[in-house]
């Protein structure tokens, strides 16, 4: 059959690159490694058993006394990095428990460091799981006070660094927070403690299950300090500002609905870039799979692949342990 065009330019036969498995593997453009994945964990004080989170099937709040066992399990599975969230039972208007060296987050970090000194230990730093109102800082009438919250972030940073965190991940979305934390760490001699900033954090509807996980008391919203999901230029500016302020790596959160933003930032900065596949992204996949609508193992790989393909170097994902245990990559 003659398929040559009139001017003798043959059309491209891309199927040559898909002809058999070894050819497809040879030319695969994006790879996901287990070492690219960062596992988020919730550690709750005064808890006696692994507490399931109903909106996040397969994810648990971990009691402090079982944390060592869990960490050993992660290391054996091949997990390289974790990000720790503390769930405190000591709440107040400011979240002052976060700058107490005996708070749940500090104790959890010390346990992690002791059990697995080689693991990359990242501490989330915020106040929303430690305040009675659920906001990410000091509430001043109805507004979160940016500069007062930054002073508290500086205090928190010193405590978390001294508890063994390799990296601090400020998620409070206060203007100027990265620079303030960097100065505070340096003033106290924590030159080696890095900052992985949630530099572009949207006010997304995908955080619902996380709020169940952390017993969030938030009744209003965070639209005065998180980014409007409709804004692209503002989202890029937020990350560029954090580069200037001294961040060591950046996070775009959430990931799946904002792959264009990951690409935009990738093209503009040379820092490591992380996509956070958040609780709602996890839960949508879990519940759709349970309903038989999609094939879970394949969609996990595809969703992680899309975040890397967009330009992320690493991914914070609740699927990390499942991927490790079942060799899903």
112 is in an annotated binding site: no
318 is in an annotated binding site: yes
Member of 53, 71, 116, 128 binding Zn ion (CB under 5 A): 128
Based on CB atoms, which residue is closest to Zn ion, 218 or 288?
Answer: 218
101 is in an annotated binding site: no
Sign of the CA dihedral with 192 first, then 199, 113, and 182 last? positive
- Closest distance to Zn ion from the beta carbon of 222 (Å): 8
Planar angle of CA 309, 194, 37, nearest 5 degrees = 35
263 is in an annotated binding site: no
Q: CB under 5 A: which stretch of 63-71, 72-80, 131-139, 241-249 binds Zn ion?
A: 131-139
Based on CB atoms, which residue is closest to Zn ion, 87 or 128?
Answer: 128
The residue behind tokens 């979240």 is 95
Residue 126 touches Zn ion, criterion: CB under 5 A: yes
* Calpha distance 194→186 (Å, rounded): 10
What number of chain residues touch Zn ion (CB under 5 A)? 3
* Calpha distance 87→78 (Å, rounded): 25
Residue 150 touches Zn ion, criterion: CB under 5 A: no
- Closest distance to Zn ion from the beta carbon of 172 (Å): 5
Based on CB atoms, which residue is closest to Zn ion, 41 or 128?
Answer: 128
Catalytic residues: 201, 253
136 is in an annotated binding site: yes
In our burial notation (b when 16+ CB lie closer than 10 A, e otherwise), range 192-228 reads ebbbbbbbbbbebebbbbbbebbebeeeeebeebbbe
Based on CB atoms, which residue is closest to Zn ion, 128 or 206?
Answer: 128
Which neighbouring-strand residues pair with 196? 249
Residue 144 touches Zn ion, criterion: CB under 5 A: no
Member of 136, 138, 161, 321 binding Zn ion (CB under 5 A): 136
Site for Zn ion in 168-197 (CB under 5 A): none
Binding site members for Zn(2+): 126, 128, 136
Tell me which residues touch Zn ion (CB under 5 A): 126, 128, 136
Binding site members for 5-aminolevulinate: 211, 222, 279, 318
């Amino acid at each position: 059959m003659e398929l040559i065009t009139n001017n003798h330019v043959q059309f491209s036969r891309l199927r040559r690159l898909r002809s058999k498995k070894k050819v497809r593997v040879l030319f695969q453009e994006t790879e996901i490694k287990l070492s690219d994945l960062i596992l988020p964990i919730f550690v709750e004080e005064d808890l006696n058993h692994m507490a399931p989170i109903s909106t996040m099937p397969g994810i648990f709040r971990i009691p402090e006394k079982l944390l060592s066992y869990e960490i050993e399990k992660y290391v054996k599975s091949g997990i390289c990095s974790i990000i720790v969230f503390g769930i405190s039972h000591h709440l107040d208007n400011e979240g002052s428990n976060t700058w107490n060296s005996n708070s749940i987050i500090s104790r959890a970090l010390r346990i992690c460091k002791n059990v697995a000194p080689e693991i990359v230990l990242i501490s989330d730093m915020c106040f929303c799981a430690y305040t009675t109102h659920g906001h990410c800082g000091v509430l001043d009438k109805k507004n979160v006070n940016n500069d007062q919250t930054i002073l508290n972030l500086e205090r928190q940073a010193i405590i978390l660094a001294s508890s063994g965190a390799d990296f601090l991940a400020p998620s409070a979305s206060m203007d100027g927070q990265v620079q303030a934390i960097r100065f505070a760490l340096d003033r106290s001699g924590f030159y080696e403690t890095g900052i992985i900033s949630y530099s572009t954090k949207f006010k997304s509807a995908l955080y619902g299950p996380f709020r169940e996980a952390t017993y969030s008391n938030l009744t209003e919203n965070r639209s005065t300090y998180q980014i409007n999901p409709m804004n692209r230029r503002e989202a890029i500016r937020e990350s560029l500002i954090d580069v200037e302020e001294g961040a060591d790596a950046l996070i775009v959160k959430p990931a799946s609905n904002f792959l264009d933003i990951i690409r935009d930032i990738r093209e503009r900065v040379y820092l490591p870039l992380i996509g956070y596949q958040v609780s709602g992204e996890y839960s949508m996949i879990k519940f759709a799979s349970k309903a038989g609508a999609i094939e879970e193992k394949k969609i996990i790989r595809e969703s992680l692949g899309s975040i890397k393909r967009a330009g992320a170097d690493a991914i914070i994902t609740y699927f990390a342990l499942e991927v490790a245990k079942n060799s899903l990559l």
